Amino acid sequence: MDTSNWRDELQPAFRQRFFNNILHNLQLGHPPESFDEILEFHKIAHSIEQKSYAGATSQAEYVMQIARKMLLLEKAREREWRDYFCPDSRQRIVYKIMKLLKRHLDVTDPEGSQELWRIAERLEEKIFSKADTETDYLRKITIKMHKMENTPRRSH
């Protein structure tokens, strides 16, 4: 393909697909809650696609620019996942960890239960803060709880 006329040969449906993918990626972490937000997402997606199209010297460069920007959006979403993770879910996980600890450590007094709660909270917080994504967090919690379940019971 002659690079001077690559834009003439690019089908509008091809650009529309990129626009739709960008829009989808923008909305993954932040579902729009109002019509104004929907319009804002459309403006951002259009701007990203348009700047990539205008700045590219070939179709291959256009595709690469879009791919880079999509990767940046994904990385930004990974950093933000904690902001959207439900606090109630975290408390349920802490509660499950505590129940598991209680079964394995034979604690019956209230002070011991409070200490187990603090341990469960610290463990959950440590995993939450080190996880890269929500999936990574849930995977690490599952692995940790599985290891704890398979640890022999100890008396206190």
Q: Which residues in the chain land under pLDDT 70?
A: 1-4, 29, 154-156
Decide if 156 is inside a domain.
no
Q: Of 33, 64, 81, which closes a domain?
A: 81
Domain containing 101 equals 85-149
- Shared domain check, 76 and 26: yes
- Shared domain check, 117 and 69: no
127-to-11, 12, 35, 136 alpha-carbon distances in Å: 47, 46, 37, 9
- Shared domain check, 72 and 103: no
> What confidence score (pLDDT) does residue 75 get?
79
Cα torsion angle, 22, 28, 30, 31, sign: positive
Decide if 98 is inside a domain.
yes
Give me the number of domains the chain comprises.
Answer: 2
> What confidence score (pLDDT) does residue 1 get?
46
- Phi-psi label, residue 106: left if phi above 0, alpha if psi -120 to 50, beta otherwise: left
Please name the residues in contact with 41: beta carbons below 8 A apart, sequence gap of 6 or more.
23, 26, 27, 32
- Shared domain check, 76 and 7: yes
- Shared domain check, 62 and 22: yes
- Shared domain check, 33 and 89: no
- Shared domain check, 95 and 63: no
**Cβ count near 25 (within 10 Å):** 19
What's the rounded Cα separation, in Å, for the pair 52 and 48? 6
- Shared domain check, 73 and 10: yes
What pTM was computed for the model?
0.53
Decide if 155 is inside a domain.
no
CB 56 within 8 A of CB 62: yes
Q: Of 63, 81, 99, which closes a domain?
A: 81
CB neighbour burial string for 108-125, b if at least 16 within 10 angstroms, e if fewer: eeeeeeeebbeebbebbe
- Shared domain check, 118 and 53: no
> What confidence score (pLDDT) does residue 120 get?
95
What's the rounded Cα separation, in Å, for the pair 43 and 23? 9
